[in-house]
């Protein structure tokens, strides 16, 4: 009997020992297959003062600019300018041959003088009733006609002399001495670029944010550090029906003459006073069909709260959050909702993350996070 009891006890002990062994092996297996940590970069969210701006691309246009053309056909007799000259208003630029017109003018002047003599004679004759009032009226009409023909001929001669309509700088000459020019043929471009208009468009939803007199900044290149300040001079009174954009005309100074009409520029418009906003690098944001998200680094247990989240240890886990983004500036984007100051945001490496993924933070190489990035020169 005792032997049987001992045998039964041995069997039960074997079963219990086997179950304990299996449980221990399962724990070791699960531990060896734990989720591996992901290496990411991260930063703590801070507030920054942002001056709200709208951006656009524009084209420079001279305040006064014209392609000078001839009003009458003829052969070039004299050229009184050189390419690139700076000229004053009224400066004689070009003369066309006007010999024939001047000869006709002399004939018309002679006819006008004869008409004046006849009119004076008839006026004296009328005083002694030698002629009728009708004959004097005819003499007066003839004199007026001769004067009008002379004035017309003087205008024709004036058209053979091309003068600068305003002060400015000439472009490249397109003519030569002896060349025959047709009516409306261009001879040179004249531009007054001491001030320049900046033509650009903004979507109609921003109409309420802009007004005449508002400050603008013009940049020759995207992200350039140096800008030229100006103001909004005027706004169109209609919105383009096809693009839903409104045309805006800015005005900037160009005293040093470094800018030229027709140049492509970048424009920024200040639309309000500076605001304190939470900002993160744009690389930290994921735009999805179900919403805009980012990952933050959370401490995984209460006994690790005294450890720094940036010391390279695996005491942090990823947590996904939905956020509402605002304006963008350079490499940064403002966060309106979903983030708190001091949160640690994952800035790169988030494609391999999901909720609960252990993290190793390595900030050896950080993504771009400049408010006004400048292109690298190679």
User: What is the DSSP annotation of 138-152?
Assistant: HHHHHHHHHHHHHHH
pLDDT at 372: 66
Residue 191: count of CB within 10 angstroms of its CB: 21
This prediction has a pTM of 0.64
CA angle 143, 149, 155 (to 5 degrees): 140
pLDDT at 140: 94
Residue 10 and residue 18: Cα distance in Å, rounded? 12
* Cα 211 → chain centroid: 17
Q: What is the mean pLDDT of the chain?
A: 87
Q: For 211, how many CA atoms within 13 A lie in the half-sphere containing its CB? A: 5
Low-confidence winner among 32-41, 178-187, 245-254, 363-372 (lowest mean pLDDT) = 32-41
pLDDT level of residue 13 (50, 70, 90 thresholds): low
In this structure, CATH architecture of domain 54-62+189-274: Beta Barrel (2.40)
pLDDT digits (tens, 9 = 90+) for 82-101: 999 999 999 999 999 999 99
Q: What is the SS3 assignment for 96?
A: strand
Q: Is 38 exposed, middle or buried (0-12, 13-18, 19+ CB in 10 A)?
A: buried
User: What is the SS3 assignment for 170-197?
Assistant: ECCCCCCCCCEECCCCEEEEEEEEEEEE
pLDDT at 52: 79
For the chain, the residue count is 378
pLDDT level of residue 262 (50, 70, 90 thresholds): very high
244 φ/ψ sector (left φ>0, alpha ψ -120 to 50, else beta) = left
User: What is the SS3 assignment for 326-360?
Assistant: EEEECCEEEEEECCCCCCEEEEECHHHCCCCCEEE
pLDDT at 311: 46
Q: What is the DSSP string of 72-91?
A: S-EEEEEE---TT-EE-TT-
pLDDT digits (tens, 9 = 90+) for 273-332: 778 899 999 999 999 888 999 999 998 753 443 444 444 444 789 999 999 998 888 889
Share of the chain above pLDDT 90, in %: 64
- Whether the per-residue pLDDT at 270 is higher than 90: the answer is no
pLDDT level of residue 182 (50, 70, 90 thresholds): very high
Report which of 191, 185, 159 is spatially closest to residue 95, judged by C-alpha positions. 159
Q: How far is CA 218 from CA 44, 56, 215, 355, 377, in A?
A: 33, 10, 10, 44, 21
pLDDT digits (tens, 9 = 90+) for 101-152: 999 999 999 999 999 999 999 998 988 888 999 999 999 999 999 999 999 9
- The domain locations on the chain are 36-50+276-361, 54-62+189-274, 73-186
Radius of gyration of the chain (CA): 43
**Please, are residues 324 and 287 in contact by the beta-carbon 8 Å criterion?**
no
- Whether the per-residue pLDDT at 253 is higher than 80: the answer is yes
Strand locations in the chain, DSSP E? 38-44, 46-69, 74-79, 86-87, 92-96, 161-163, 168-170, 180-181, 186-203, 215-219, 228-235, 245-253, 264-281, 286-288, 291-299, 316-322, 324-329, 332-337, 344-348, 358-361
Residue listed under structure tokens 């993504």: 367
Q: What is the CATH number of domain 36-50+276-361?
A: 2.40.420.20
Report which of 92, 90, 149, 139 is spatially closest to residue 116, judged by C-alpha positions. 139
pLDDT digits (tens, 9 = 90+) for 15-72: 776 676 656 666 655 455 556 888 999 999 989 888 778 889 999 999 999 999 999 9
């Amino acid at each position: 009997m005792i032997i049987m009891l001992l045998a039964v006890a041995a069997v039960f002990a074997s079963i219990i020992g086997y179950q304990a062994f299996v449980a221990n092996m399962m724990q070791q297996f699960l531990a060896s297959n734990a989720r591996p940590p992901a290496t990411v970069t991260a930063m703590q969210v801070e507030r920054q003062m942002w001056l709200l701006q709208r951006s656009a691309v524009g084209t420079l246009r001279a305040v006064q600019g014209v392609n000078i053309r001839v009003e009458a056909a003829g052969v070039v007799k004299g050229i009184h300018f050189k390419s690139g000259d700076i000229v004053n208003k009224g400066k004689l630029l070009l003369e066309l041959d006007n010999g024939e017109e001047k000869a006709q003018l002399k004939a018309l002047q002679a006819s006008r003088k004869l008409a004046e003599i006849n009119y004076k004679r008839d006026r004296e004759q009328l005083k002694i009733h030698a002629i009728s009032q009708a004959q004097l009226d005819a003499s007066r009409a003839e004199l007026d006609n001769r004067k009008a023909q002379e004035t017309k001929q003087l205008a024709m001669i004036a058209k053979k002399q091309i003068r600068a309509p305003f002060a400015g700088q000439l472009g490249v000459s397109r003519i030569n001495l002896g060349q025959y020019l047709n009516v409306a043929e261009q001879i040179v471009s004249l531009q007054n670029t001491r001030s320049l208009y900046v033509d650009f468009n903004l979507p109609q939803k921003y109409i309420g944010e802009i007004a005449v007199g508002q400050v603008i900044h013009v940049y020759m290149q995207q992200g350039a550090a140096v800008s030229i300040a100006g103001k909004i001079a005027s706004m169109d009174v209609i919105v383009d029906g096809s693009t839903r954009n409104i045309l805006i005309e800015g005005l900037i100074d160009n005293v040093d003459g470094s800018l030229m009409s027709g140049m492509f520029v970048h424009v920024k418009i200040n639309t309000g006073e500076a605001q304190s906003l939470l900002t993160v690098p744009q690389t930290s944001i994921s735009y999805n069909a179900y919403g805009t998200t980012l990952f933050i680094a959370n401490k995984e247990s209460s006994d690790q709260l005294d450890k720094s989240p940036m010391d390279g240890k695996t005491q942090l886990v990823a947590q996904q959050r939905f956020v509402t983004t605002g304006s963008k500036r350079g490499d940064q984007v403002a966060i309106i909702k979903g983030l708190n100051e001091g949160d640690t945001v994952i800035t790169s490496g988030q494609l391999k993350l999901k909720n609960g993924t252990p993290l190793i933070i390595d900030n050896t190489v950080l993504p771009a996070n400049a408010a006004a990035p400048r292109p690298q020169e190679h």
